[in-house]
Structure 1
Amino acid sequence: PTDLNRNMIEGTPRGEWIKKHTPMGRFGNTEELVGAALYLISPSASFTTGHTILVDGGYTGRGI
Protein backbone atom coordinates (compact mmCIF):
# COMPACT_ATOMS: atom_id res chain seq x y z
CA PRO A 1 0.00 0.00 0.00
CA THR A 2 0.92 3.62 -0.40
CA ASP A 3 0.17 6.57 1.82
CA LEU A 4 -2.90 7.12 -0.37
CA ASN A 5 -4.48 3.69 0.16
CA ARG A 6 -2.89 2.33 3.35
CA ASN A 7 -6.05 3.00 5.39
CA MET A 8 -8.09 0.92 2.94
CA ILE A 9 -6.08 -2.29 3.47
CA GLU A 10 -4.39 -2.11 6.86
CA GLY A 11 -6.32 -4.10 9.45
CA THR A 12 -8.37 -5.98 6.83
CA PRO A 13 -8.18 -9.75 6.25
CA ARG A 14 -6.43 -9.12 2.90
CA GLY A 15 -3.93 -6.77 4.51
CA GLU A 16 -3.12 -9.33 7.20
CA TRP A 17 -2.70 -12.02 4.53
CA ILE A 18 -0.24 -9.83 2.62
CA LYS A 19 1.81 -9.12 5.76
CA LYS A 20 1.80 -12.82 6.70
CA HIS A 21 3.17 -13.73 3.27
CA THR A 22 5.81 -10.98 3.20
CA PRO A 23 9.16 -12.05 4.70
CA MET A 24 9.58 -8.63 6.36
CA GLY A 25 6.16 -9.12 7.99
CA ARG A 26 4.95 -5.58 7.41
CA PHE A 27 4.00 -3.03 4.80
CA GLY A 28 6.76 -0.83 3.46
CA ASN A 29 7.08 2.89 3.93
CA THR A 30 7.45 5.54 1.25
CA GLU A 31 10.91 6.41 2.60
CA GLU A 32 12.11 2.88 1.79
CA LEU A 33 11.85 3.60 -1.94
CA VAL A 34 14.43 6.38 -1.79
CA GLY A 35 17.47 4.12 -2.22
CA ALA A 36 16.12 2.56 -5.41
CA ALA A 37 15.14 5.96 -6.79
CA LEU A 38 18.56 7.43 -6.03
CA TYR A 39 20.24 4.49 -7.72
CA LEU A 40 18.13 4.92 -10.86
CA ILE A 41 19.04 8.60 -11.22
CA SER A 42 22.72 8.05 -10.43
CA PRO A 43 25.59 7.41 -12.84
CA SER A 44 25.80 3.90 -11.35
CA ALA A 45 22.60 3.03 -13.22
CA SER A 46 23.95 4.07 -16.62
CA PHE A 47 24.02 0.44 -17.84
CA THR A 48 20.68 -0.52 -16.27
CA THR A 49 17.96 -0.87 -18.90
CA GLY A 50 14.60 -2.59 -19.06
CA HIS A 51 14.61 -3.90 -15.52
CA THR A 52 12.08 -3.86 -12.71
CA ILE A 53 13.51 -3.08 -9.30
CA LEU A 54 11.28 -4.66 -6.69
CA VAL A 55 11.11 -2.95 -3.31
CA ASP A 56 8.55 -5.21 -1.66
CA GLY A 57 10.04 -6.66 1.51
CA GLY A 58 10.66 -9.98 -0.21
CA TYR A 59 7.01 -10.57 -1.16
CA THR A 60 7.68 -11.58 -4.77
CA GLY A 61 10.65 -13.78 -3.87
CA ARG A 62 8.92 -15.71 -1.11
CA GLY A 63 8.28 -18.76 -3.28
CA ILE A 64 11.84 -19.16 -4.47
Structure 2
Amino acid sequence: MCFRAEPARGLGSEKNDSDDNVAVKLPNGDSRRLSAGPCSELTKQVIEIFAPRFPKMPTVIFMT
Protein backbone atom coordinates (compact mmCIF):
# COMPACT_ATOMS: atom_id res chain seq x y z
CA MET A 1 0.00 0.00 0.00
CA CYS A 2 1.46 3.36 -1.00
CA PHE A 3 -0.55 5.73 1.19
CA ARG A 4 -3.35 6.06 3.69
CA ALA A 5 -5.89 8.89 3.39
CA GLU A 6 -7.09 10.69 6.50
CA PRO A 7 -9.22 13.82 6.92
CA ALA A 8 -6.95 16.86 6.74
CA ARG A 9 -6.26 19.10 9.69
CA GLY A 10 -4.89 22.55 8.92
CA LEU A 11 -3.76 22.90 5.32
CA GLY A 12 -1.33 25.80 5.63
CA SER A 13 1.20 24.12 3.35
CA GLU A 14 1.61 21.01 1.23
CA LYS A 15 2.97 19.14 4.21
CA ASN A 16 1.85 19.55 7.79
CA ASP A 17 4.64 20.81 10.07
CA SER A 18 3.72 18.37 12.86
CA ASP A 19 4.39 15.29 10.71
CA ASP A 20 5.37 14.26 7.19
CA ASN A 21 1.87 13.73 5.83
CA VAL A 22 0.99 15.15 2.40
CA ALA A 23 -2.14 17.35 2.28
CA VAL A 24 -4.30 16.83 -0.81
CA LYS A 25 -7.25 18.97 -1.88
CA LEU A 26 -9.91 16.91 -3.68
CA PRO A 27 -11.89 18.28 -6.66
CA ASN A 28 -15.02 18.66 -4.49
CA GLY A 29 -13.14 20.90 -2.02
CA ASP A 30 -12.61 18.27 0.68
CA SER A 31 -9.10 17.66 1.96
CA ARG A 32 -7.22 14.52 2.95
CA ARG A 33 -3.80 13.77 4.36
CA LEU A 34 -1.74 10.97 2.88
CA SER A 35 1.17 9.33 4.64
CA ALA A 36 4.48 10.58 3.26
CA GLY A 37 6.14 8.84 0.34
CA PRO A 38 6.60 8.93 -3.41
CA CYS A 39 3.20 7.34 -4.14
CA SER A 40 1.48 10.04 -2.09
CA GLU A 41 3.33 12.83 -3.91
CA LEU A 42 2.32 11.32 -7.26
CA THR A 43 -1.30 10.90 -6.10
CA LYS A 44 -1.37 14.55 -4.99
CA GLN A 45 -0.18 15.72 -8.42
CA VAL A 46 -2.73 13.55 -10.25
CA ILE A 47 -5.60 14.80 -8.07
CA GLU A 48 -4.67 18.49 -7.89
CA ILE A 49 -3.07 19.11 -11.31
CA PHE A 50 -4.10 16.44 -13.83
CA ALA A 51 -7.72 15.88 -12.76
CA PRO A 52 -8.88 19.52 -12.95
CA ARG A 53 -7.33 20.00 -16.42
CA PHE A 54 -8.42 16.94 -18.37
CA PRO A 55 -11.59 15.14 -17.18
CA LYS A 56 -14.74 17.24 -17.55
CA MET A 57 -16.02 16.42 -14.05
CA PRO A 58 -13.14 15.04 -11.94
CA THR A 59 -14.10 12.93 -8.95
CA VAL A 60 -11.98 10.92 -6.56
CA ILE A 61 -13.88 7.70 -5.93
CA PHE A 62 -11.46 5.70 -3.84
CA MET A 63 -8.14 6.13 -2.02
CA THR A 64 -6.68 3.48 0.29
Q: TM-score, normalised by structure 2?
A: 0.29
Q: TM-score, normalised by structure 1?
A: 0.29
Per residue, is there more helix in 1 or in 2? 1
Higher RCO (CA < 8 A, seq sep 6+): 1
